[in-house]
Amino acid sequence: MTILDIQEHIEENYTSLSDEFKRLFHGRGGLYEGWKHLTIDSIDEILSVALYTEEEKESELLEMLKNFIASSRHKTIVLQRRYIKGSPSEVIVGELWDELFVVENGMKIKLNLLSNRNSGYFPDMKKGREFVRENSKDKSVLNLFSYTCAFSIASMMGGAYKVSNIDMSKGALSTGRTNHHLNDLDTRGVSFHPYNILKSFSRIKKKGPYDLIIIDPPTFQKGSFEATKDYRKLIMKLPQIAAQECTLLACLNSPDLDVEFITELIKELAPSFKFVKRLENVEEFASEDEDRSLKNLVFERTII
């Protein structure tokens, strides 16, 4: 695939752009030969470009994007060189304003595009947040590994009466609180707890039982969570914190673990939960191998 091919690809996607986030080029899915290390996102008037390995045609790519924004809605280009540890992102064209946020289905989430790592927003989880928003009315929600609390915002917008956000990072939870205020949400029913989830189940249980439980862990985070061994510990505790009628959204973003990894754990350790479906992934995040892509699995528990 050539630079010209990439230009044609993003021009095709450009016709449906608005102020809402949209991925214009998803090389990470492996569908575009030679460009698995490249992503390009539209964030209102910003083009956010990420390179995950060094690219010898970087200058040519950036020149194409500069020409592209001359006739597009975009005024700024930000480049992340994710392959350089600790390297700050670079504003190639234009400028970034201080209070930067992304819009998804009318929901605002604070962004840090100058970070070389996570920006505070995971766009591939859009379908998961839509599901939560549609299924949280009048429910008590537990949001495990909440990070910046996007699932909590979706829950509150969907009519949840209570949300408990659990994450080890006080900084992420602080941003999560800001995100609620950014959306003019009343946080009196929302709590933010900087717990180590695997060591704090007694405290989590006290606020239960929960009608909707979201588990969205990192695949691997040193000292915090390792999916291959720690997901089991979470599933084992579910019956103790779940309401008799409870919905579970179990998320997994490991390319090396398939759907059966979660469904078999549920069968063994929490058999009162029955598998319902796997949510479709966002169209722009298509992968050459869907078994290796994001897995959002829905389970229901009904005890009469």
pLDDT at 220 over 70: no
**pTM to 2 decimal places:** 0.93
What is the pLDDT, as a whole number, of residue 102?
Answer: 95
- DSSP 8-state secondary structure symbol assigned to residue 88: P
Of 46-50, 87-91, 109-113, 213-217, the poorest mean pLDDT is in: 87-91
What is the pLDDT, as a whole number, of residue 115?
Answer: 76
**Rounded distance between C-alpha atoms, residue 162 and residue 210, angstroms:** 9
In degrees rounded to 5, what are phi and psi of residue 102? -105, 150
Residue range 126-185, pLDDT digits in tens = 999 999 999 999 999 999 999 999 999 999 999 999 999 999 999 999 999 999 999 999
Helix (H) or strand (E) holding 21: none
Task: Look at residue 138 and give its three-state secondary structure.
Answer: coil
User: Which residues sit opposite 164 in a β-bridge?
Assistant: 142, 191
Residue range 3-46, pLDDT digits in tens = 999 999 998 888 778 899 999 999 999 899 999 999 999 999 99
Domains and CATH numbers, the chain: 3-110 (3.30.750.80), 123-302 (3.40.50.150)
What is the pLDDT, as a whole number, of residue 175?
Answer: 95
What is the pLDDT, as a whole number, of residue 221?
Answer: 63
* pLDDT level of residue 79 (50, 70, 90 thresholds): very high
